């Protein structure tokens, strides 16, 4: 397997890596998932744990994953195998790569359903009923939409087709160039929304909800969710960043680039929170209303704004693009593996993996309506897939990456690859991946699963 290497491309610059990695990191995880999880898990304390997880676990593991990619210079499964062979470690390490492929697949299946919602809202924002929409109407409207599987199947299919179309051509120059403008545009739109929120009466309450921790609201499962969300949002634990690292030129500083990506990702999540919670409180809505949160609150803000139909549609267009740049990163490991190791053409590999993801996504889609009563361990199919991937598989993948980079690879190799100017920064990184991240994650896992 090891001799089937990539014809290995490289990023043209550090900026290209940062943009691509931010494109994969910034997605529905920031705009849709972070606010609703924060709402469900009681606010400030959850946000604080999330920030801690990003800084103390996320960033070091992101560095480790990038480093492994650049050292191995192949697809994740082959990189893990060849690095393990060089280090005379077990061949079983390649299964870290396998688990990554499986998680990306499961995530994309439900990711596409939610991205479909965002696409539907691009058009819906233009309907006259959204002008000056009342909170009650916005809620009812979303409920009707959510429980109408036929409409959602159309959007879910369209999103999957868009993903397949792009991936089958290879990540086209068009999309890369597009991202360069669309991502900053998304940022500007979020800032406009935050501007609107600042003027609303619930602003103080929203800020307090986000930033004043109330630890009585934090359960073991909330802490696990915060950690899972850090992995999900940064796009860690399944080899995406490893692939991107494998294209990274030698001279680029891994530490500085990954810290920038993590900072951008976190900033977008916090801005989304700052835009949404003031609207929630101004309209006396419930912060814990779940996955529908942004679809039920943002239309109220746009409805009250001059030019709201236009800005509302534009906002969801940008969310759609943010989702698309992430969905490409999610399907790429499977497509890369099918083309490298199974000899499929890129077109066929994309179409097959897209089709299977699409089929799996139907289960999540129906779990918002007719299958909402079909539960496993008290979770419907969407919740179960989300829990299995984000809360279990991604952190487990990240843990394996940390152990591999901290304990299996020798010190000289990682030191050489990270090439940090400050010896103390290297020591800090090594401490975090060897001890702090594995212990922290171990405790969170045990606490959530065993209830200690
Ligand atoms: N980070 C993306 C988001 O926040 C989703 C994503 C892209 C992802 N690539 C990933 C999640 C890899 C986990 C792993 O929307």
Is the predicted pLDDT of residue 2 greater than 50, yes or no? no
Is the predicted pLDDT of residue 220 greater than 80, yes or no? yes
- Tell me the CA–centroid distance for residue 91 and ligand 1, in Å: 27
- Tell me the CA–centroid distance for residue 238 and ligand 1, in Å: 9
Whether pTM > 0.85 for this model: the answer is yes
Task: Please name the residue whose Cα sits nearest to atom 14 of ligand 1.
Answer: 235
Closest to 417 (Cα-Cα) out of 29, 134, 69, 1: 69
pLDDT at 173: 62
Q: Is the CB of 30 under 6 A from ligand 1?
A: yes
- 28 CA closest ligand 1 atom index: 15
Closest to 448 (Cα-Cα) out of 408, 396, 385: 396
pLDDT at 4: 40
pLDDT at 5: 44
Domain range enclosing 160: 3-450
**pLDDT band for position 440 (50/70/90)?**
confident
d(CA 104, CA 393): 10
The pick from 171, 326, 386 for probing ligand 1's pocket by mutation, whose C-beta has the most ligand atoms within 8 angstroms, reads 326
d(CA 359, CA 106): 11
| pLDDT, tens digit, 9 for 90 and up, residues 382-427 | 999 999 999 899 999 999 999 999 999 999 999 999 988 888 999 9
The domain that holds 185 is classified in CATH as 1.10.4160
Is the predicted pLDDT of residue 287 greater than 90, yes or no? yes
Task: Please name the residue whose Cα sits nearest to atom 6 of ligand 1.
Answer: 235
**pLDDT band for position 178 (50/70/90)?**
low
Q: Which of 21-25, 127-131, 293-297, 383-387 has the least mean pLDDT?
A: 127-131
Q: What is the domain count for the chain? A: 1
Q: Is the CB of 79 under 6 A from ligand 1?
A: no
Q: Which of 171-175, 280-284, 408-412 has the least mean pLDDT?
A: 171-175
- 390 CA closest ligand 1 atom index: 13
pLDDT at 177: 67
Q: Is the CB of 235 under 6 A from ligand 1?
A: yes
Q: Which of 69-78, 280-289, 290-299 has the least mean pLDDT?
A: 69-78
d(CA 230, CA 246): 22
Residue 432 CB neighbour total at 10 angstroms: 22
Q: Are 320 and 118 in contact (CB under 8 A)?
A: yes
**Token digits of residue 40:** 């469900």
- Tell me the CA–centroid distance for residue 31 and ligand 1, in Å: 12
| pLDDT, tens digit, 9 for 90 and up, residues 230-273 | 999 999 998 889 988 888 888 899 999 999 999 999 999 999 99
- Tell me the CA–centroid distance for residue 75 and ligand 1, in Å: 18
Q: Is the CB of 330 under 6 A from ligand 1?
A: yes
Task: Please name the residue whose Cα sits nearest to atom 10 of ligand 1.
Answer: 235
- Tell me the CA–centroid distance for residue 296 and ligand 1, in Å: 23
Segments in 125-252 forming alpha helices (H): 135-146, 149-168, 173-198, 203-211, 220-234, 240-246
- Tell me the CA–centroid distance for residue 315 and ligand 1, in Å: 20
- Tell me the CA–centroid distance for residue 229 and ligand 1, in Å: 10
- 238 CA closest ligand 1 atom index: 14
């Amino acid at each position: 397997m090891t001799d089937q290497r990539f014809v290995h491309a490289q990023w043209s610059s550090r900026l290209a890596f940062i943009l691509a990695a931010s494109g994969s990191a910034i997605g529905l995880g920031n705009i849709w998932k972070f606010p609703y999880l924060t709402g469900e898990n009681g606010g400030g304390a959850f946000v604080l744990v999330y920030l801690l997880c990003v800084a103390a676990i996320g960033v070091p593991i992101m560095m480790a994953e990038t480093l492994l990619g650049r050292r191995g210079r192949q697809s994740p499964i082959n990189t893990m195998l060849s690095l393990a062979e060089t280090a005379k470690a077990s061949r079983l390490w390649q299964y870290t790569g396998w688990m990554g492929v499986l998680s990306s697949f499961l995530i994309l299946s439900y990711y596409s359903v939610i991205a479909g919602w965002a696409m539907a809202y691009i058009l819906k924002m233009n309907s006259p009923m959204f002008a000056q929409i009342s909170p009650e109407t916005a809620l009812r409207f979303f409920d009707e939409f959510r429980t109408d599987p036929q409409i959602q199947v159309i959007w879910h299919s369209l999103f999957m087709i868009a993903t397949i179309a792009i991936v089958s051509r290879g990540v086209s120059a068009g999309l890369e160039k597009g991202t360069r403008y669309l991502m900053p545009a998304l940022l500007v739109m979020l800032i406009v929304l935050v501007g609107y929120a600042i003027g609303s009466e619930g602003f103080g309450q929203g800020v307090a909800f986000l930033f004043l921790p109330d630890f009585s609201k934090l359960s073991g499962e909330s802490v696990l969710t915060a950690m899972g969300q850090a992995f999900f949002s940064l796009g860690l634990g399944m080899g995406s960043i490893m692939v991107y690292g494998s294209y990274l030129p030698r001279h680029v500083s891994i530490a500085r680039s990954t810290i920038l990506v993590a900072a951008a990702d976190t900033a977008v999540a916090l801005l989304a929170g700052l835009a949404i919670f003031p609207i929630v409180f101004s309209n006396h809505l419930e912060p814990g209303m779940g996955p529908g949160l942004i679809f039920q609150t943002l239309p109220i803000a746009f409805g009250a704004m001059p030019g709201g139909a236009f800005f509302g549609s534009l906002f969801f267009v940008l969310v759609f693009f943010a989702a698309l740049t992430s969905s490409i990163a999610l399907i790429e490991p499977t497509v890369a593996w099918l083309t490298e190791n199974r000899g499929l053409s890129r077109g066929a590999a994309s179409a097959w993996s897209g089709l299977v993801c699409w089929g799996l996504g139907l289960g999540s889609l129906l779990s918002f309506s007719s299958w909402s009563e079909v539960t496993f361990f008290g979770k419907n199919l969407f919740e179960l897939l989300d829990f299995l991937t984000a809360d279990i598989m991604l952190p487990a993948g990240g843990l394996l990456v940390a152990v591999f980079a901290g304990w299996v690879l020798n010190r000289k190799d990682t030191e050489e690859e990270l090439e940090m100017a400050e010896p103390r920064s290297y020591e800090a990184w090594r401490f975090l991946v060897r001890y702090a991240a594995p212990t922290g994650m171990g405790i969170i896992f045990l606490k959530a699963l065993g209830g200690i």
